[in-house]
Amino acid sequence: MAAYSFHQGSITTINRKLMKTKLLLRKVCLLAVILSIPNFINAQGSRPAPGPRVPPTALRPDIKIENILHIEPKCLRLVQNEITGDVWYIAVTGEVYQIKNIGSKTPTSVKVFTEADHGIKRLQGITIYKNTMFLCGNYTTENGKYNHGRVVRFDMTNPAKPVMSVVLNTADYPTNIGSFDHGWDALKVSLDGKYLFINSGSRTDHGEIQDKGGIFPNARIGALTARIFRVPINTKDLVLPDDEAKLKAAGYIYAEGLRNAFEMNFDGQGNMFAVSNSPDYDMTDDMFWIREGHHYGFPWYTGGLEMPQQFADYQPSPDTDPYIPRSGTAWVRKFFNNDPAYPQRPEGLKFSPGVQNLGPDANEYRGHSGKVMDGDITGATISGFTPHSCPIGLVFDTKNVLSPEFRGDGFVLRYSKGGMLGAFTKEGGDLLHLDMAYNKLADNYDMKVTRIADGFKEPTGALLIKNVLYVLEYGGNNGGDIWKVTLPTTATKVTASKK
């Protein structure tokens, strides 16, 4: 967000006349949501320059980082079957891989499933509950005209003969011609094992029309995207309709107003949190406390700011609106425009704010003047993280095995380094420690954010097993790496990181 704090629950606005010369902003803490891997890579423009690989670096003496495995291209996610101990990851091209003996000196990986086994062409989500694996993603029909979300399960009781069944498919909904069709991309089983949560990211960048060259007039977000859905874990062969009223009547919509909750996880108290990346507009990358029935603002609010395209007199230009990055895909492809038909916020709809970052790290933002500011200097909190950080790999020390400084806390990776993030900071591609506390006055969470490791290359997955955090890198076309980050279990005196 920008220099705005939600601690007192106040919402103030800037005079809208300023929009003609600079930007309309309103001081609101809210949310947006994060990323789909292929699209989010294209949109962020954050690939490091080619060259010899420099290993990641611990920023504390009590953290150790080791390389354990080189993996296939375009991979993401890390999950564990807690019954067998095996670890799994996926590739967006449909492959599912199993790592055996990850804790040994010679772990090995093997391809177990492909698109032909599960029918998901763009695979983005995986989770395992007991001996059942769930996968989610998308496939298209009619030569790419229509999109479909798809969730399947594999009963792995007999690993030699896994049995697949379909949890759900969606009805047809429009694809687009941009790079912001985020898709069905994240899965999580409820702690009681009764439900499956599935995120469907927005098919737009910021709520603009995406009509696929006129094929779908006035198509924007629709009923099947920008939401977290919840279905009973034993659901089979469900077809979700592209009809908001029917979805709500059936109880399938759990939370709304989420641009793309690409990563969801539970803390030790059973609270669900999600992280997201901002649109191609200099809003902060949110983190949210996800609760049933809450609306998190998208497309009207993201990163603590109002999306100005919702106002009929908005005339977008990087010359007058410093929040529009000239290099951003949304600007280059003319997705920012004067848009009098932009849907109006429903009367009486309340938005839940994002988790507030108190610093000292990942708290840069763009102020009302258009200049980049640092919350440590201004004293401002921000919603989530520095714009275009692309947070991913959210985990929590739910077993309370780490040293007192980290015990029970959260950790998250930042995918980006350079690109649009480079306008705010030279940092990125790092591991952040999240020291979180409930703020009763705001009915929300605050967090102290500290960098503890640096130098990861496009990280897209994390798994915490006891005091070892495994970090998976996307790898582009050349393949990535999995790193073993050993965290302390006893107290160590260290010097705080400095920017």
DSSP letter string, 361-413:
SS-EEE-TTS-EEEHHHH---EESBSTT--EEEEEE-TT--S-TTTTT-EEEE
What is the reported pLDDT for 23?
A: 34
Cα dihedral 14→17→19→20 (10° resolution): -160
pLDDT digits (tens, 9 = 90+) for 29-58: 333 333 344 554 444 333 344 456 789 999
Whether residue 227 contacts residue 200, with contact meaning beta carbons closer than 8 Å, is answered with yes
User: What's this model's pTM, rounded to 2 decimal places?
Assistant: 0.89
Residue 497 within a domain: no
What is the reported pLDDT for 177?
A: 85
pLDDT tens, the chain, 499 aa long: 333 232 223 223 333 333 333 333 333 333 333 334 455 444 433 334 445 678 999 999 999 999 999 999 999 999 999 999 999 999 999 999 999 999 888 999 999 999 999 999 999 999 999 999 999 999 999 999 999 999 999 999 999 999 999 999 999 999 998 789 999 999 999 999 999 999 999 999 999 999 999 999 999 999 999 999 999 999 999 999 999 999 999 999 999 999 999 999 999 999 999 999 899 999 999 999 999 999 999 999 999 999 999 999 999 999 999 999 999 999 999 999 999 999 999 999 999 999 999 999 999 999 999 999 999 999 999 999 999 999 999 999 999 999 999 999 999 999 999 999 999 999 999 999 999 999 999 999 999 999 999 999 999 999 999 999 999 999 999 999 999 999 999 987 766 555 6
Residue 454 within a domain: yes
What is the reported pLDDT for 499?
A: 60
- Spatial distance between the Cα atoms of 228 and 243, rounded to a whole number of angstroms: 15
- Which one-letter DSSP state was computed for residue 49? P
Q: Give the other-Cβ count within 10 Å of 47's Cβ.
A: 16
Q: 394 is in which domain, residue-wise?
A: 71-486
Residue 420 within a domain: yes
Residues in the chain: 499
CATH at residue 454: 2.120.10.30
Residue 302 within a domain: yes
What is the reported pLDDT for 39?
A: 52
The single-letter code of the amino acid at 196 is L
Q: Tell me the backbone φ, ψ of residue 109, rounded to 5 degrees.
A: -125, 150
What is the reported pLDDT for 53?
A: 77
Count structural domains, the chain.
1
Residue 423 within a domain: yes
Residue 329 within a domain: yes
What is the reported pLDDT for 496?
A: 55
Q: In what order do the strands lie in the sheet with 108-113?
A: 75-80, 87-91, 96-100, 108-113
Residue 58, classified by CB atoms within 10 Å of its CB into exposed (0-12), middle (13-18) or buried (19+), is middle
What is the reported pLDDT for 31?
A: 32
Residue 331 within a domain: yes
**Spatial CA neighbour of 277 closest among 295, 288, 289, 261:** 261
Residue 45 within a domain: no
What is the reported pLDDT for 21?
A: 35
**Spatial CA neighbour of 384 closest among 308, 41, 392:** 392
